Structure 1
Amino acid sequence: MKMFLLLTKEKLLTLEKALRNYLPAAIKTYGTILNVNKGKIHDLEVVVDSWPDFNAVICRPGKKEEKYNPVAPTITVFSKDQNSLRRLLMDDNVVDWTTCFMFGGIDTSYFELVRDVAACKKFTVSFSNTCYAMILEDPKDLVDIISERADVASRISHLDLTHAQIVSRNWKFGNDTSLEFIENVIANFPNYCILDETDNPVSWLLSYNYGAMGLLYTLPEHRRKGYAKLLVATMVKTLQNLGYPIYCFIEEENDKSYQLFEKLGFKESPGIRFAWQSCRPFER
């Protein structure tokens, strides 16, 4: 008996509305579905355990033509019931347990479940990047930075594909395979940068395919000028106008970023942590 359902475009619109009732726990899944419905993501499939009363949601890579992809596929999940999520994860028709992949931004309360399922499938799981979810629930709470920095605001622009190299080089997780990812983010999702006198970016902020702000960076020689605050404030207004949730993930040890967003009006979602988990087959 088939225990899952692949959602159609019409059902995805209904799912988007339903997930609003489960924020902030569902925020990454909600942001992903939002971008699918906006036509910004074309290569994801969304699976639920039942419909319309779902308990678990999995966003997975769609079926593609066979070609080499250096980046591990990413799965996004949300669940109201761990047993329902377990059944979906155990189903080889839902999750491809023949290759390496990653759980992206998964609630840390699912750690044991994922570890148990992976062991059943003869996979190892490595955990990294445990993060706070920092959310600006009401854009009116945003501290006004733009009007204070009108001199710098005139130099705010957008990144283009020629800037992907510098973003990738300065990204903590940048590597030989990250350039294509950065190019996709720049081409398809909101981003801002501050240009110097030669029209080169010296500070930038992008947004991911799940709607979160990220990759915030300022070149060392241009720090302590308020550029990061200005870019966040600018991005907030854009995300608000586009109807996106306004949030970011901040690693637990990144005190500077935490304080930056807190000062701008963002608040940590209490009791919720998200992490990235890499899964790979046992070595034989």
Structure 2
Amino acid sequence: MLILTCPAQLQRLEETLRRSLPLALPVYGAVMNINRGNPAEFEVVVDSWPNFGAVLARRSREVASGAMGRGGHMVPWHMPSGLRTPLAPSPSPGEPPSRPLPVAGSRHRPLLMAAPRHRLAPGVRVGSLSPAHVDLLNETWTYGGNARSRRYLAELLELFPSLCLQDATGQPLCWALTDPFGTGTHGYTLPAQRRRGLMRAVLTLATQRAQARGFPYFG
């Protein structure tokens, strides 16, 4: 297994994974984040280079332990043999890199591309979460309720985009986070606020913002 550290190799890997969407979604977002400042200090491991068949995105210097996804830090991906193609060619000097294509759907939750059917109710506004909300998130997350999950959620709030709908006092009513793999995670609506279309609005806005940054949005 080889750890890719060369920026040119990582960029070529991103281009190749983009051509394999949506199957490559589990690692594509992580590679995009690595190539854009690497806020979570991840690394990419491949089985060989340049003709790779497997990719592993993980925390730098993290050893495989079986804790993958849902608060874990590793996601492996194996390219189906029928889809293995040569690496995408490097762009010519002066040629802008190709833009990631929007992903209309996959075996993950399909993207929501349409605008919300109804306008937000009076007093409901769009905002983002802050570290001050970490206890609320930890209490409401299916995988939360412990010190490890709290640290993980605090990291997401600090490093990656989040979006929420708030009431007039700034209290979050509905929200969604983004993890190091580019996945939409911990989507939640307070029980008293459900059946109002709030989550649909949050996911639609999150999709639009992610794609404006060149990222696919999935969950």
TM-score above 0.5, yes or no:
yes
* Alignment-mate amino acid for residue 45 of structure 2: V
CA distance in 2, matches of 1:145, 1:189: 24
1:7 aligns with 2:4: yes
Which residue pairs with 1:91 in the alignment? none
**Structure having the larger proportion of residues in strand:** 1
Q: Percent identity?
A: 30
Residue from 42, 45, 61 that aligns with 1:44: 42
- Please identify the structure whose Cα radius of gyration is greater: 1
3-state secondary structure, aligned to 2:119: helix
Give 2:161's aligned amino acid: P
TM-score by length of 1: 0.60
- Residues 153 and 209 (structure 1 numbering): CA distance in 2 closer, same or farther, change over 3 Å? farther
Gap change, CA 1:153 and 1:12, over 3 Å in 2: farther
1:207–1:5 Cα change, 3 Å: same
Match of 1:134 in 2: 109
Contact 2:40–2:180 (8 Å) recurs in 1:
no
Shift of 1:75: 2.0
Partners in 2 of 1:208 and 1:72 — Cα distance?
A: 9
- Per-residue CA deviations over 1:42-80 (Å, capped at 9, x if unaligned) read 42221112211111112232238xxxxxx9853211112
Unaligned stretches of 5+ residues in structure 2: 63-69, 82-105
Aligned to 1:205: 176
Compute the TM-score of the two structures, normalised by the length of structure 2: 0.76
1:160 and 2:158 correspond = no
CA 1:202–1:150 in structure 2 vs 1: closer, same or farther (change >3 Å)? closer
- Tell me, in whole angstroms, the C-alpha distance in 1 between the residues paired with 2:123 and 2:18: 33
CA offset digits 1:7-45 (Å, max 9, x no partner): 123211110111112222210101111111111434222
Separation (CA, whole Å) in 1 of partners of 2:9 and 2:144:
36
Task: Name the residue aligned to 1:104.
Answer: none
Q: Is the 8 A contact 1:193 1:205 kept in 2?
A: yes
**CA displacement at 1:160 relative to structure 2:** 0.5
Cα distance change, pair 162–54 in 1 and its aligned pair in 2 (3 A): same
Q: 2:143 aligns with which of 167, 173, 178?
A: 173
Whether the 8 Å contact between 2:27 and 2:76 is mirrored in structure 1 is yes
Alpha-carbon separation, structure 1, partners of 2:108 and 2:169: 36
Q: What corresponds to 1:277 in structure 2? A: none
Unmatched runs of 5 consecutive residues or more in structure 1: 65-70, 83-130, 249-284
Aligned residues: 186
Could you give the per-residue CA deviations for residues 83-119 of structure 1, whole angstroms, max 9, x where no partner exists? xxxxxxxxxxxxxxxxxxxxxxxxxxxxxxxxxxxxx
- Root-mean-square deviation over aligned CA pairs: 2.4
* Secondary structure of the corresponding residue to residue 33 of structure 1: helix
The whole-number CA distance in structure 2 between the counterparts of 1:153 and 1:133 is: 33
Q: Distance in 1 between matches of 2:48 and 2:122?
A: 51
User: 2 CA distance for matches of 1:153 and 1:79?
Assistant: 47
Worse overlay, 9-18 or 36-45:
36-45
Q: 1:207 to 1:246 in 2, by over 3 A?
A: same
Amino acid at match of 1:133: H
Give the number of the structure whose residues are more often helix, by fraction. 1
Tell me which residue corresponds to 1:227.
Answer: 198
